[in-house]
Amino acid sequence: MSFRVCINCHGIRVYPYMGFMIGQRFECQDCQEQMVIPLEFETNEDYQEYLRGVAPNHPNVESEDDEDDDDDDEESEND
């Protein structure tokens, strides 16, 4: 399932605002940016890769250390 991302603040709280018959518009609930074409990602991994390249200090960026910690937890549980 895909999700939409704001073109201004890169947040994921983007919802249909108006339109549909005359053209769809979206609004970001974080920065109130209104847009015709938001960014759209199929997976969270794609979104995270985009954020790391464009906005590495964005609050939605998951650190790569967090992913490594998950692997460490699984190894310690197996010991």
In this predicted structure, the answer to whether residue 76 has a pLDDT above a threshold of 60 is: no
In this predicted structure, the answer to whether residue 14 has a pLDDT above a threshold of 90 is: yes
Are 31 and 11 contacting, i.e. CB atoms less than 8 angstroms apart?
A: yes
CA 13/CA 30 separation, integer angstroms: 7
Mean pLDDT over 43-47 rounds to 91
Nearest to 31 by CA among 66, 53, 55: 55
Residue 64 sits at φ, ψ, to 5 deg, of: -70, -25
Number of Cβ within 10 Å of residue 1's Cβ equals: 4
Q: What is the pLDDT of residues 18-35, one digit of tens each?
A: 776 667 899 999 999 999
Residue 26 sits at φ, ψ, to 5 deg, of: -125, 155
